[in-house]
Structure formats: structure tokens, C-alpha cells
Chains A and B, each alone.
Chain A
Amino acid sequence: MSNVPADLKYVKSHEWIKKLADGTVVIGITDHAQHALGDLVFVEVPKVGRKLAADESCAVVESVKAASDVYAPIAGEVIDANGALANTPEILNSDPYEAGWMWKMKPNNAADIDALLDAAGYQKLIDELN
């Protein structure tokens, strides 16, 4: 059973996004996604300063089985990326919502996040997949 925290927003391509107090957002991939990929061996995060459109492919997670793209849930500029993933990609498996965060963004429009799936909506989506 995948962990789907109630305080996050989600997108169909299995990223989560969280609003921070200062108006920026933090993004990662869900517990369901990390479980489906299996043991991650390599994570590539976007460069700080890169401007992303919503749904733009901007990161890669590679497991022993496959390499998959990670997409920006909303538009914005990358302001920080999780450097720890370069040498310890396994933290994305063990702690996808905290230590395994991928990058932080300043959203173009903070309201974009409201249109995304809530925890119940995402749970329904993965229930349908299973």
C-alpha cells in the first residue's frame, strides 16, 4: 500500500508538489512511483536557474530496470536542487517525501498548484492502476 500524504498535491505522471511558507514549492516523485521503478541507481535533477513550463520533462530517475523522465507539475524557475541524490539516489526509495525531494521552484503563478490532484484524487488514480 503506497503512502499518499494528505498535505501534498499530485499529478498523473506521479510527481508530488508541496507549497512552502515562503511561496516557493518543492517537488519529488511519489512513493507509488519509487516502488514501481525499483531500486534507483541514478537521479538527474534540473539545473538551478532553469525556467520550466508545466509538464516539461526536466529530470531523470534511473533504476536497474528503466530510466524515466520526471515532469514539472507547474511552470516556474528552479531555485534549488537536491545534491544528495547524486551520490545517494537510494534516499529517493527510502524517503520519497522528505530526504528524497528533487528540486525547488519559484512558481510563475502560485494558484496553478490548486488545480492539481489532491491526495484522495491521486489515491483513486493509483487504485485504478493497480
Chain B
Amino acid sequence: MPFIPHTERDVRDMLAAIGVQKIDDLFDEIPAELRSGKLDKIPEGLPEMEVAAILSERARQDAVALNFIGAGAYEHHIPAAVWQITTRGEFYSAYTPYQAEASQGTLQVLYEFQSMMTALTGMDVSNASMYDGASALGEALLMAVRSNKQNDSGLILMPKTVHPFYKEVVTSTTSAQGLRQTELAYCPKQGKTLLESLKAHEGQGITAVVIQQPNFFGTLEDVDAITDWAHAQGALVVAVVNPTSLALLKPPSQWGAKGADIVCGEGQPLGAPLASGGPYFGFLTTKMEFVRQMPGRIVGRTVDVDGKPGFSLTLQAREQHIRRSKATSNICTNQGLLVTAATIYMSLVGPEGLARVASASIANTGKLVNALAAVPGVSAVFSGARFHEAVIQLPKPAAEILPKLAEKGILGGFDLSRHYPELGNAVLVCATETKTESQIKRYAEALKQVLA
């Protein structure tokens, strides 16, 4: 579907039809003091040549470093075909179409994406994506409150091992709606949620228990035991998962006896570049019994009047444009372009390729931890089984060491001291399939020099 902007004449004709003079008149009812006024902090336009020069100058700051930071966004190899296909005109439109069924191709891509996400997570139904992993968790918890008829108190058990930024976003998006988060402690030796910490919450009428697998430290949680405990308490289980890891780990639908109820996560590892933090996309899948409480768009497959297959948005009656203020959520769109890239990425690498990406990342992180732990004064912090991230302890504050590594062109990891002061000089490190043995060696040698 082509994107055709309005001409000045179109705009004039439309204003005349409405009976107003200028576009500003449409906003009459907004009081003057609430308007932004002139945006005078935005500089004047520049010629394309100058803009290109400025941006390539700035881009150079990005591209040279050897990156060992994960912490929720992961540097994976993206086959060149992914963005070659994604940026074709047919996909590369400004936004999702409002008359969605006019774009059968767009809907088919979303449908394929949903099918892939249900296959990866093992759940019955997927939506067409959310803004990012953190906001998807917020929406998943609001959905849990709507879905849990037994316990709708809004009490959420949130392990300390869940991504700290996710927790902040959840607080922003759900606290005004009455949700309360209670933390669960983790084992200082293994780096996973302490099962004993659950006991104190028995009989509290918990609405949902969050489980991040692998957790923020890269460690694997006891998902079966926590899931069964949560269900015995009448709570729903909200899983936060890394999609790459699902190529190897069992799907959340198989956690414990009944499986997770809502699954969400960050989709960036599936074909989206790091790109200074975004745009990324979130995903959300669930059991069929909760589908009417699911936020966002869902594409379904159907047949037209002639019996030919086609695609349409489905279960729209719960959405904003029909239910207005009583809608299930205020998410009424999807991250179309990123989802297109993810769908192409998954179809190119396939289940086997994704498993190889996951295995190679685990192996490289293992090599990285061994290489770093061989540096005097450095050690691995947790002994629990892990995916492709690990926590290492430095002999000096990370805030001192990481900048020195950066000077040598190495991004050495995520400083955990702000969110986990109890871990001392701990740094979260990651080596995906993109890292070579010589690069890992280079990091270990640089660390040795910096610490010497």
C-alpha cells in the first residue's frame, strides 16, 4: 500500500468541507496555556550533505567498540537478507494500515509472526506485538488482573532477578491502576530466586507471579517449582523469556504441571540491531482461555465470500475503536517493521539455526567467563546453570574499570552496582555467537592490563 501525503489542496478541501479556516482551528478546545507553542529549541533545517556528514561523524562513535554488554539487548548476527527484504516498499510503510484488511500481505506477515511466537513459547495464541519487552510485561500484569477471577487484588510477586528496568516500567505503567509489586529474594550463591522466599506469601491472595527465564543475571530459574507453587496459590504465572533461549529451553507452556499463563518478552534478539536502544518490539502470548483479556491486535485467518483464504484483524470488539474507554488496553497497534524483520529472521535461520545461535552463545559466554576468571582478582559470582550471560566480580569498582576498557575499544559489561549494591563490584557480561575466541582473549588481556 503506497503512502501518499496530502497535498495543500487536499488539506484546503477538507478544511472547507468541515467549515474551518485552518488546521489550528481544529484544536480550539485545547486551552492556550496547555499548548507547546513554538518549538524554538529545534534548530533550523540543514542541507542533506551536512546532515549526512554530522551523522556519519556520530555513527563512528558507535561502531568501533567490541561489545560484551547484554542486559536485555543482544548483539546477534543478522543475515543481510533480513533488512534487504524488510525495507522493500511493500513493507516499509510509515505505520500499520488503519483499514487493515486492505493490506493482505501485511496481515499475512503478522499472522506468520504470531504462528512463530506461539510455536516458540508453546502457547495457544499470540498478539501482533507490543512496543518493547518492558511495556509488554506491564501489559501482561494488567491482563493478569483482568484474567484472574479468583485473586484480582493486584498483588504481584516480582523476583529481584527480573530486569530492573522492566520493574521500573511496570511501576510506571501499573501503579496508578492499583498493582503492587512485592520482591522475592535470590540465592547469593546460585543467582536464582530462593524458593524459600515464596513461603512468606502463602495465602496472600496473589494475582500473579513473574518469572524471568533466563533471569537478569543469565541464570536459569526453577520454573517448574515456582509455577506449581503459584498455581496452588491461585496466582497466574507471567513468564518473561528471551526468544533465542526458547530454541533450547522447554517452552513456558510446559513449566510445571499447568504451564505459564501469559508469556512476554523482548523481541530484539530476533533480527533487530542494537541501534542505541531501539526501536525494539515486545511480544505477548497466552492460553486461549485468556484471549479476550489480551491487549493489542490479533490477526486471524479466514475465508472470504468465495471461500478463498484471507486474513483479518480478529477479536476487535475488545479494542479501543469499538469499546472506547472500556477497551481491554490502550495498545491498539503493533511494531510492524520490527515484526517483519523478526519474521524474516526466524524464517531464514529456522528452528535449527536458532538453536545453533543459542548454543554458540552459551559456549562463548562459558569461554568468556573462564578467560575473565583467569585474570588475577576476577571471579565468577554465581554457580547456577546459565544461558548466555554471567556475573563476574572485579577487584575494583566497575565504574573505574569499564571506562578504561572502553578507551581500549571494549564495552566490558553492565555495571550492576546501582541496582544490586549487595553484589559489590559486579559486572554482567555476555558473549553471543558473534564473538570469536581472539576477541574474548583480547577482552581478558585488556582487563589484565587495566587491573595491573
A residues in contact (CB < 8 Å) with B = 41-42, 44, 47, 62-67, 69
Interface size range of chain B in the complex: under 10
Binds A, one of B164-172, B209-217, B251-259, B317-325: B317-325
A62→B318 contact, CB < 8 A: yes
> Chain A contacts of B322 at CB under 8 A?
66-67
> Chain B contacts of A44 at CB under 8 A?
292
B149→A42 contact, CB < 8 A: no
Q: Is the interface of B mostly helix, strand, loop or mixed?
A: helix
B326 at the interface (CB under 8 A from A): yes
B residues in contact (CB < 8 Å) with A = 149, 292, 317-318, 322-323, 326
A47 to B150, CA, bound (A): 10
Q: Is the interface of A mostly helix, strand, loop or mixed?
A: strand
A67→B318 contact, CB < 8 A: yes
Q: Which of A47, A65, A69 contacts B317 (CB 8 A)?
A: A65
A124 to B149, CA, bound (A): 39
A40 to B149, CA, bound (A): 22
A47→B149 contact, CB < 8 A: yes
B326→A62 contact, CB < 8 A: no
CB distance from A43 to the nearest CB of B (A): 11
A69 to B326, CA, bound (A): 9
A66→B317 contact, CB < 8 A: yes
CB distance from A108 to the nearest CB of B (A): 24
CB distance from B329 to the nearest CB of A (A): 14
A114 to B292, CA, bound (A): 36
> Chain A contacts of B326 at CB under 8 A?
67, 69
CB distance from B350 to the nearest CB of A (A): 36
* Given A41-B317, A67-B323, 8 extra CB contacts under 8 A: A42-B292, A42-B317, A44-B292, A47-B149, A62-B292, A63-B317, A66-B317, A67-B326
CB distance from A94 to the nearest CB of B (A): 20
CB distance from A87 to the nearest CB of B (A): 11
The chain A residue with its CB closest to the CB of B314 is A64
> Chain A contacts of B292 at CB under 8 A?
42, 44, 62
